[in-house]
């Protein structure tokens, strides 16, 4: 098994970019690449290496427009539809709008704090082939607040006791596209969801297809239960794993500035969008592109299975 410690995975030092780690376990800033231009092969390779090592990388002050965002994404992989259920912005099928008030049309007002892990997710893990990479671009950013969080699920896996690792290695989980049961949805949401129902069974421990790391594949927004456990056993074990996975030492909190771009590995992290922005007037607008992913594979070599819905397609 490959180690989840970033230093242990590092390859030769990059020559065309500078990689500045932001924490011990997750996140690095990349300097020296102008994302408005097509990038040389070597730079793309070095960006890919840093991305695999640090799980989420940030490019500051890029100020890309929609066209440049798509062009950059296409150098790294094949984009999917902006969002498999909620669609895309006009004229750009690859781009999903992360607007401050996008949830108003979907959810009725809910209690403020539900669970500590509420809102943490990897993108669309209800699909049989969840997006591998997300590329998020900040355009309108509040002067303070509105930070995004990520956590490294390979390090979180390594942080479990050997005995528990051995147990979870053999488990599988049911991921469904539906809101948490505490939240009431709008009719509009139900109509959109009805045309794109999705559920899949994924391994609880996924082997990363590029690094070989074992990763706790436990996206709280979609993972509903552990297959083969009694409901109470499943609930307690999932809560233990989620609580563990978002320990501060595995996480990064990023303060955005307009023009920043974040790129993360949905196969190895979960992230959490901010909620504090709803307490202030300031607007917040970001745009996201996701790149096609493969079907996860467990420690036993067994791939995920689809329960409902089509695979996400490249466009
Ligand atoms: C997302 O979930 O992709 C958006 C994250 C954010 O709004 O910071």
Task: Give the number of residues written for the chain.
Answer: 315
Contact indicator for 178, 189 with CB cutoff of 8 Å = no
- Counted domains in the chain: 1
Assign residue 122 the CATH number of its domain.
Answer: 3.60.130.10
Contact indicator for 121, 273 with CB cutoff of 8 Å = no
Q: What's the DSSP call for residue 26? A: S
**288 is annotated as an active-site residue:** yes
The label of the residue with tokens 């466009």 reads 315
Domain membership flag for residue 35: yes
Candidate list 25, 69, 83, 123, residue with the active-site label: 123
Q: How far apart are CA 252 and CA 57, in angstroms?
A: 11
Domain membership flag for residue 313: no
270 Cβ closer than 6 Å to some ligand 1 atom: no
106-134 pLDDT per residue, tens = 777 766 557 899 999 999 999 999 999 99
**206 is annotated as an active-site residue:** no
Residue ID of nearest Cα to ligand 1 atom 1: 273
pLDDT at 290: 98
Domain membership flag for residue 315: no
56 Cβ closer than 6 Å to some ligand 1 atom: no
Mean pLDDT value across the chain: 93
Residue ID of nearest Cα to ligand 1 atom 7: 273
Domain membership flag for residue 1: no
Contact indicator for 188, 106 with CB cutoff of 8 Å = yes
Domain membership flag for residue 71: yes
What is the 100 CA–ligand 1 centroid distance (Å)?
A: 10
176 Cβ closer than 6 Å to some ligand 1 atom: no
Domain membership flag for residue 241: yes
Residue ID of nearest Cα to ligand 1 atom 2: 273
The 3-state DSSP class for residue 209 equals coil
**3: confidence class by pLDDT, cuts 50, 70, 90:** very low
136 Cβ closer than 6 Å to some ligand 1 atom: yes
**Max CA distance (Å), the chain:** 53
The token duo for 65 is 């427009």
**4: confidence class by pLDDT, cuts 50, 70, 90:** very low
Q: Is the pLDDT of residue 50 over 60?
A: yes
pTM listed for this prediction = 0.93
Mean per-residue pLDDT, 61-67: 98
**121 is annotated as an active-site residue:** yes
Q: Is the pLDDT of residue 187 over 50?
A: yes
What is the 272 CA–ligand 1 centroid distance (Å)?
A: 7
Domain membership flag for residue 173: yes
**194: confidence class by pLDDT, cuts 50, 70, 90:** confident
Q: How far apart are CA 234 and CA 181, in angstroms?
A: 16
pLDDT at 11: 55
286 Cβ closer than 6 Å to some ligand 1 atom: yes
Mean per-residue pLDDT, 37-60: 98
What is the 148 CA–ligand 1 centroid distance (Å)?
A: 7
Mean per-residue pLDDT, 131-139: 98
Q: Is the pLDDT of residue 241 over 70?
A: yes
Pairing mode, strands 305-308 and 18-21:
unpaired
Of the candidates 299, 301, 294, the one whose C-alpha atom is nearest the C-alpha of residue 127 is: 294
Q: Is the pLDDT of residue 180 over 60?
A: yes
Candidate list 25, 121, 175, 206, residue with the active-site label: 121
Show the domain range for 53.
Answer: 6-308
Pocket test for ligand 1, best of 271, 272, 276 (most atoms within 8 A of CB): 271
**25 is annotated as an active-site residue:** no
What is the 104 CA–ligand 1 centroid distance (Å)?
A: 15
Percent of the chain with pLDDT over 70: 93
Domain membership flag for residue 277: yes
Residue ID of nearest Cα to ligand 1 atom 4: 273
What is the 255 CA–ligand 1 centroid distance (Å)?
A: 12
Q: How far apart are CA 208 and CA 27, in angstroms?
A: 18
Residue ID of nearest Cα to ligand 1 atom 5: 273
């Amino acid at each position: 098994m490959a180690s989840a410690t970033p230093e242990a995975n590092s390859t030769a030092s990059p020559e065309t970019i500078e990689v500045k780690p932001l924490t011990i376990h997750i996140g690095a800033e990349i300097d020296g690449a102008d994302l408005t231009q097509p990038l040389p092969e070597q730079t793309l390779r070095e960006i890919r290496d840093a991305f695999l090592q640090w799980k989420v990388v940030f490019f500051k002050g890029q100020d890309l427009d929609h066209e440049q965002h798509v062009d950059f994404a296409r150098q790294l992989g094949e984009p999917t539809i902006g969002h498999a259920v909620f669609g895309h912005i006009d004229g750009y099928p690859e781009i999903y709008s992360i607007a401050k008030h996008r949830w108003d049309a979907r959810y009725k007002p809910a209690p403020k704090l539900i669970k500590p892990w509420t809102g943490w997710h990897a993108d669309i893990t209800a699909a049989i082939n969840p997006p591998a990479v997300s590329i998020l671009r900040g355009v309108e950013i509040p002067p303070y607040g509105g930070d995004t969080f990520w956590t490294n699920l390979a390090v979180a896996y390594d942080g479990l006791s050997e005995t528990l690792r051995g147990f979870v290695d053999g488990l599988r989980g049911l991921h469904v596209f539906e809101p948490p049961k505490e939240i009431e949805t709008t009719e509009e949401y139900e109509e959109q969801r009805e045309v794109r129902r999705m559920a899949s069974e994924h391994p609880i421990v996924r082997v990363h297809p590029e690094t070989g790391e074992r990763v706790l594949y436990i996206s709280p927004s979609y993972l509903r239960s552990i297959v083969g456990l009694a409901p109470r056993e499943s609930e307690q074990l999932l809560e233990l794993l989620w609580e563990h996975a978002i320990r501060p030492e595995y996480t990064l909190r990023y303060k955005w500035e307009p023009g920043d771009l974040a790129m993360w590995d949905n196969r190895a992290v979960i992230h959490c969008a901010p909620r504090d922005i709803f307490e202030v007037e300031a607007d917040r607008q970001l745009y996201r592109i996701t790149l096609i992913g493969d079907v996860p594979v467990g420690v036993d070599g067994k791939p995920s299975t689809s329960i409902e819905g089509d695979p996400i397609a490249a466009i």
